[in-house]
Chains A and B, each alone.
Chain A
Amino acid sequence: MLQNHVFIALIIFVLTYTAIISEKINRTVVALFGAVLMIIFQVIPQKIAFGVIDFNTIGLLIGMMIIVIILRKTGIFQYIAIRTAKASKGDPWKIFLLFSIITAIASALLDNVTTILLIAPVTLVITDTLKLNPFPFLFAEIFAANIGGTATLIGDPPNIMIGGATGLGFMDFLTNLAPVAVVVFIVTLLILKFMFRKEFKVTEENKKKVLGFDEHKTIQDKKLLIQSGIVLGVTIIGFILHQAVHLESATVALFGAVLLLLISKVDPDEVLMEIEWSTVFFFVGLFILVGALEEIGVIKMLAEKLVALTKGNMLVTSMLILWFSAIASAFVDNIPFVATMIPLIQNMQSISGIDVSPLWWSLALGACLGGNGTIVGASANVIAAGMLEKRGNKIGFIKYIKLAFPLMIVSIIISTIYLMLFYV
């Protein structure tokens, strides 16, 4: 009976992941379908299936989404973008540099997709005005978003999932991942500057048009801006202190979200309507799918194989996870990949008794930075490419990979050196 369960579970899991990777069917629908099949075929009882959903991850995602939805209404991102463009005096390289820095910082505090959705529209308006090709700017912002997101617990879904499963907090991520993320970011920017050096030519007339923008017009609701700014600040302080005050990160995010809803009096229906529910339910489906494999012992078996393969050597295991995560995340969605890897690493700890802490950083660096490698490597890439395509600037898979994959490899080499120097 148990062997039947293993067989059925593996078939459901492999078919579901294949369908997700193929991107022929909506990934949320496939993940939920696979999850429900796991319950129908009694691989995992419904009660346990609902129990394996990591509500810390779900709560953190929803809480941050609510804060961003309200913050977006204030026009603050347009204000910052125009201020930056004007401070750069319309100089394309300075705009390129400063927009990338803004994207990286924003992405460390918000998730990557949200950051791209906020920064890309203003970038497109500025590049339109300057009559510049938007591709180098969006390409740099994709990298900045994925690198910035690597630096914190809340910056990228893989980190949110790792934090939710392990109890590692905001400061753990910041102190362990931010230093290497900064180095990767600087090196990437230098390479990008060289790559796109011929793209930054504008006329004085177009520069003047950018200087003619009025950033003050963008702030349409000052009261809401102040309220949102205070709540975002309180939430970030909450993330910094959450372990010290024994609160989960989801509690902090949800507190910020409901506090902002309460004081801003923004229509909650309007806000809740804009939450990316398909992403939330995608996570729910994945948690159940992976939970089912764990329930029947498949994850434990894989962990045993991995421990036997690496003989418990931390350097080998760490490098294997880093590079495998990076290459895999460049081609497949890093969320299902990380969802599977988390219980695998947890099982490795219980089997071998070794301290697996460095492996979490290998996984986070590989999964987050690996997403830069191809156009389908991360949701932020897909969205930015979609925006460019809608404007008639289609980037093919090959064109993107030629530029991005070597850059991604550079970031993984830097991560390798960092992990070898400080962890293994």
Chain B
Amino acid sequence: MNYLNVEASQHEMKLIQMGAKVEQINSKMCYIKFVIDGLPVEYVYNLNKKNKYFLERINPYPLAIRSYEKVEDIVKVIEVDVRQFQNMVKSKNVQSFVNITNEFIDIIKKFEDLILYYNVPAEKVGVIMGKIDEINQEINETKKTANRVFFDKEPENLK
């Protein structure tokens, strides 16, 4: 605890001098790990008295899921998520799904480097936007033709 406080104090002082407002909250960090047919599925979230819990899936690919106000909500979300992965691992394409998602995450990181390190011309922004529209269209068309396999809840992003 002593060392944590010392580290936290140094970070606080440096960040405040950078212009940040720093609030330190005592919390419990929870790591959750499932292994579904050999596929590790892991989550991390923190519990604190501020009633704001940030849930993130860290494996098989990292994804910030959402912040919640009730601990029960987190358990429910994880429960549904795990059932979805139990369903997904039955597919022979499971490894491809994981690879594609990781590729998307890599693309986001590369795109961020592109816009943070380079002056990107407007026409190139248009080209990239067009490629994203193509992928979006492909996902929507695939949804229309593919058989639905999970019915416990409605998709949140793919309406």
Give the contacts of B3-29 with A (CB-CB under 8 A).
3, 5-7, 9-10, 12-14, 16-17, 19, 21-22, 26
Instruction: Check if B26 sits within 8 Å of A217, measured CB to CB.
Output: no
Which one of A117, A124, A217 contacts B17 once the chains associate, using CB atoms below 8 Å? A217
Q: At the interface, is chain B mostly helix, strand, loop or mixed?
A: helix
Give the contacts of A208-258 with B (CB-CB under 8 A).
213-214, 217-218, 220
- Contacts A274-B1, A387-B3, A390-B3 given; indicate if A218 touches B13 (C-beta within 8 A): yes
Separation of A214 and B15 alpha carbons in the complex (Å): 12
Separation of A217 and B18 alpha carbons in the complex (Å): 9
Separation of A220 and B2 alpha carbons in the complex (Å): 22
Chain B residues with CB under 8 Å of A72's CB are: 9
Separation of A31 and B26 alpha carbons in the complex (Å): 28
Which one of B6, B19, B21, B26 contacts A117 once the chains associate, using CB atoms below 8 Å? B6
Separation of A80 and B21 alpha carbons in the complex (Å): 19
What's the nearest-Cβ distance from chain B to residue A28, in Å? 13
The answer, yes or no, to whether B109 is at the interface (CB within 8 Å) is no
Give the contacts of A357-391 with B (CB-CB under 8 A).
383, 386-387, 390
Chain A minimum-CB-distance residue to B19: A217
Chain B residues with CB under 8 Å of A274's CB are: 1, 5, 26
Q: At the interface, is chain A mostly helix, strand, loop or mixed?
A: helix
Instruction: Check if B13 sits within 8 Å of A121, measured CB to CB.
Output: yes
Separation of A386 and B26 alpha carbons in the complex (Å): 23
Q: Which of A125, A218, A276, A390 has the most CB of B within 10 A?
A: A125
The answer, yes or no, to whether B148 is at the interface (CB within 8 Å) is no
The answer, yes or no, to whether B76 is at the interface (CB within 8 Å) is no
What 8 pairs between A and B have smallest CB-CB spacing?
A121-B9, A121-B10, A125-B13, A217-B16, A121-B6, A78-B13, A125-B10, A270-B26
Which one of B3, B7, B9 contacts A122 once the chains associate, using CB atoms below 8 Å? B9
The answer, yes or no, to whether B49 is at the interface (CB within 8 Å) is yes
Interface flags, A265-287, vs B, CB<8A=1, else 0 = 00101100110100000000000
Separation of A267 and B12 alpha carbons in the complex (Å): 20
Give the contacts of A113-138 with B (CB-CB under 8 A).
113, 117-118, 120-122, 124-125
Chain A residues with CB under 8 Å of B7's CB are: 121
Chain B minimum-CB-distance residue to A78: B13
Which one of A75, A124, A273 contacts B26 once the chains associate, using CB atoms below 8 Å? A273
- Contacts A274-B1, A276-B1 given; indicate if A122 touches B6 (C-beta within 8 A): no
Q: Which residues of B come within 8 Å of A, CB atoms?
A: 1-3, 5-7, 9-10, 12-14, 16-17, 19, 21-22, 26, 49
Which one of A218, A269, A386 contacts B16 once the chains associate, using CB atoms below 8 Å? A218
Q: Which residues of A come within 8 Å of B, CB atoms?
A: 72, 75, 78, 113, 117-118, 120-122, 124-125, 213-214, 217-218, 220, 267, 269-270, 273-274, 276, 383, 386-387, 390
Chain A minimum-CB-distance residue to B18: A217
Separation of A218 and B5 alpha carbons in the complex (Å): 16
Chain A residues with CB under 8 Å of B49's CB are: 267, 269-270
What's the nearest-Cβ distance from chain A to residue B13, in Å? 5
Separation of A135 and B2 alpha carbons in the complex (Å): 19
Chain B residues with CB under 8 Å of A124's CB are: 10
Separation of A118 and B17 alpha carbons in the complex (Å): 17
- Contacts A220-B21, A270-B26, A273-B26 given; indicate if A387 touches B6 (C-beta within 8 A): yes
Chain B minimum-CB-distance residue to A113: B2
Chain B minimum-CB-distance residue to A267: B49
Q: List 16 A-B contacts (CB under 8 A).
A: A117-B2, A118-B9, A121-B6, A121-B7, A122-B9, A125-B13, A217-B16, A217-B19, A218-B16, A220-B16, A270-B26, A274-B5, A276-B1, A276-B2, A383-B2, A390-B3
Chain A residues with CB under 8 Å of B10's CB are: 121, 124-125
Separation of A124 and B5 alpha carbons in the complex (Å): 13
Which one of A78, A269, A386 contacts B3 once the chains associate, using CB atoms below 8 Å? A386
Chain B residues with CB under 8 Å of A267's CB are: 49
Separation of A118 and B12 alpha carbons in the complex (Å): 13
Separation of A67 and B112 alpha carbons in the complex (Å): 46
Chain B residues with CB under 8 Å of A75's CB are: 16
What's the nearest-Cβ distance from chain B to residue A395, in Å? 16
Separation of A125 and B17 alpha carbons in the complex (Å): 11
Separation of A256 and B3 alpha carbons in the complex (Å): 27
Chain B residues with CB under 8 Å of A214's CB are: 17
Chain B residues with CB under 8 Å of A218's CB are: 13, 16
- Contacts A274-B1, A276-B1 given; indicate if A125 touches B16 (C-beta within 8 A): no
Chain B minimum-CB-distance residue to A277: B1
Which one of A125, A270, A386 contacts B14 once the chains associate, using CB atoms below 8 Å? A125
Chain B minimum-CB-distance residue to A386: B3
What's the nearest-Cβ distance from chain B to residue A213, in Å? 6
